[in-house]
Amino acid sequence: MSESAHPLPEIDARTALAWQAADEAVILDVRETHEFEYENVPGSVLLPLSFLDPEQPPAIFGKKVVVICAIGKRAAAAQKQLADSGRPNVYNLAGGLDAWKKAGQEIQGGKHEALDYSI
């Protein structure tokens, strides 16, 4: 298939959050397990790119899929694989988790659970 057959749309963090809150999308994190455990988007689903099989994509029916990684490169690779296998409505979160945090969106994980703000 030609590159133009699958426009690979990017969205921003606020759009991803709005879709997730409205139950219109699932955020698919394609980083490795240790990265996800360190910090992640609440409600996101982990499927490391190293385990992604585009012929057996996650069973997420009727929803948009927003692919996220640290800065967007692995997410773009996963997005292309899913789109090339025929999966519709796959979006890359532009800038990845870095952009999510810069937009002031909530994150969770071991990095944040380990912080102790008590005096």
Residue 109 lies in a domain: no
Amino acid, res. 96: G
Tell me how far apart the alpha carbons of residues 95 and 75 are, in angstroms, rounded to a whole number. 10
Question: Is the residue at 107 inside a domain?
Answer: no
Q: Does the residue 8 lie in any domain?
A: yes
Identity of the residue numbered 118: S
pTM: 0.85
Print the domain residue range for 97. Answer: 3-102
Number of domains, the chain: 1
Q: Is residue 19 part of a domain?
A: yes
pLDDT at residue 111, as a whole number: 77
* Mean pLDDT computed over every residue of the chain: 87
The answer on pLDDT for 41 being more than 90 is: yes
Calculate Rg over the CA atoms of the chain.
14
Determine the Cα–Cα distance for residues 92 and 39; give it in Å rounded to an integer. 18
Q: What CATH number is attached to the domain comprising 37?
A: 3.40.250.10
Whether 76 is in a domain gets the answer: yes
pLDDT in tens, 70-98: 999 999 999 999 999 888 899 999 999 99
Query: Residue 71: CA atoms inside 13 Å, Cβ hemisphere, count?
Result: 1
Reported as a pLDDT band with limits 50, 70 and 90, residue 117 is low
Q: 97 in a domain, yes or no?
A: yes
111 belongs to a structural domain: no
More confident residue, 61 or 42: 42
Q: Backbone dihedral region of 41: left (phi > 0), alpha (psi from -120 to 50 degrees) or beta?
A: beta
